[in-house]
């Protein structure tokens, strides 16, 4: 969103406006009754930093004008009755994974609204991942077509080839294609490391060198997997049983709309999504996004 959005004190609110519109688009299309929104508050204090201090060391800290808006985004979720998760030691991915892990015994399947490839490791048979911006959805069976490995192999795959976004080096000389070939043959990182001497005999470019690197960097590979594996035991504090939507706080919603200067259309949409007004109907537009239809596998 452009920087022209500001609050009464002149601070930017473009991120809050963009986040609000995303929440509304999601709510108006899906009307979810069981929902969790996870926020990252562990960008420099996650348990992974204790394992590897250079974890995400290539990222610049969020600027003050953006960090200030995170609180508004969380407040918006709370006002809308949405369950909010944030923790100083666990990342948003861990909170999502832990919420999904806790929901399964209750009979729920998960729809993970994120394009992040790391989260594909969480998918089970009836789960889905949704790249909302592109209108793409896929299940566990669709992960291999996207990344070359099965959903349950994603953490091992990233441990082998690394993840530049999170500053995880991976095993020297092993790229994405080689990692996929090795996991297709051995099934898992544990099996690969236990049988690393066999790698040299594979019909694969650089097989002998890959075998040597795996032997030399075994402990590093195991460490990288600790970093790439999403935790399923993060604390889930302050959320309703079954992650059901809670009551809307109309006063809080109106106060927040005033504070960040939401326009009249955005206010009407928020109040309608919260059940405080009649459902909002957008005006017809040729520029409206058209999402492909989706039939679950």
Give the structural domain span for 123.
Answer: 14-143+231-273
240 and 119 together in one domain: yes
Is residue 289 pLDDT above 60, yes or no?
A: no
The whole-model pTM stands at 0.90
Domain count, the chain: 2
> pLDDT digit string (tens) for 139-154?
999 999 999 999 999 9
Give the mean pLDDT of 70-90.
Answer: 95
| Token output for 155 | 């953490």
Please tell me the distance from the alpha carbon of residue 36 to that of residue 99, in angstroms, as a whole number: 8
At what angle are helices 264-273 and 250-260 packed, to 10 degrees?
Answer: 160
Q: Quick: pLDDT tens for 104-137.
A: 999 999 999 999 999 999 999 999 999 999 999 9
Q: Does residue 87 register a pLDDT over 90?
A: yes
Do 26 and 98 lie in one domain? The reply is yes
For 34-46, the pLDDT digits (tens) are 999 999 998 888 9
User: Containing H/E element for 111?
Assistant: strand 111-113
Q: Looking at residue 106, which CATH number applies to its domain? A: 3.40.50.1010
**Is residue 287 over pLDDT 60?**
no
Question: 51 with 168, same domain?
Answer: no
Three-class SS state of 131:
strand
Q: Identify whether residues 132 and 267 lie together within a single domain.
A: yes
223 located within any domain: yes
Quick one: 222 and 244 in the same domain? no
Per-position DSSP letters for 59-91, written without gaps between them: SPPPPHHHHHHHHHHHHHHHHTT-EEE--SSS-
292, part of any domain: no
Residues 112 and 209 in one domain: no
């Amino acid at each position: 969103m452009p920087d022209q959005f500001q609050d009464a004190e002149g601070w930017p609110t473009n991120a809050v406006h963009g986040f609000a519109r995303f929440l509304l688009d999601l709510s108006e299309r899906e009307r979810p009754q069981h929902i969790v929104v996870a926020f990252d508050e562990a960008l420099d204090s996650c348990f992974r930093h204790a394992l590897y201090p250079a974890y995400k060391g290539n990222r610049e800290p969020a600027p003050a004008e953006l960090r200030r808006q995170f609180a508004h985004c969380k407040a918006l979720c709370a006002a809308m009755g949405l369950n909010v998760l944030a923790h100083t030691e666990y990342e948003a991915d861990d909170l999502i994974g832990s919420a999904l892990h806790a929901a399964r015994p209750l009979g729920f399947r998960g729809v993970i609204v994120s394009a992040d490839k790391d989260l594909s490791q969480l998918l089970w048979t009836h789960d889905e991942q949704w790249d909302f911006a592109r209108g793409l959805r896929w299940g566990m069976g669709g992960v291999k077509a996207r990344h070359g490995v099965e959903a349950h192999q994603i953490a091992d795959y990233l441990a082998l080839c690394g993840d530049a976004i999170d500053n995880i080096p991976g095993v020297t000389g092993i790229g994405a294609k080689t990692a996929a070939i090795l996991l297709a043959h051995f099934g898992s990182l544990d099996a690969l490391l236990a049988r690393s001497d066999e790698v040299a005999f594979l019909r694969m470019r650089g097989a002998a060198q890959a075998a040597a690197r795996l032997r030399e960097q075994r402990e590093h590979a195991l460490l990288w997997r600790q970093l790439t594996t999403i935790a399923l035991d993060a604390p889930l504090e302050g959320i309703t049983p079954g992650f059901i939507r809670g009551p809307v706080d109309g006063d809080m919603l109106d106060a927040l709309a005033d504070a960040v200067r939401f326009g009249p259309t955005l206010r009407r949409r928020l109040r309608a999504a919260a059940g405080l007004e009649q459902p909002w109907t957008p005006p017809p537009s040729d520029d409206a996004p058209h999402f492909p239809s989706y039939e679950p596998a």
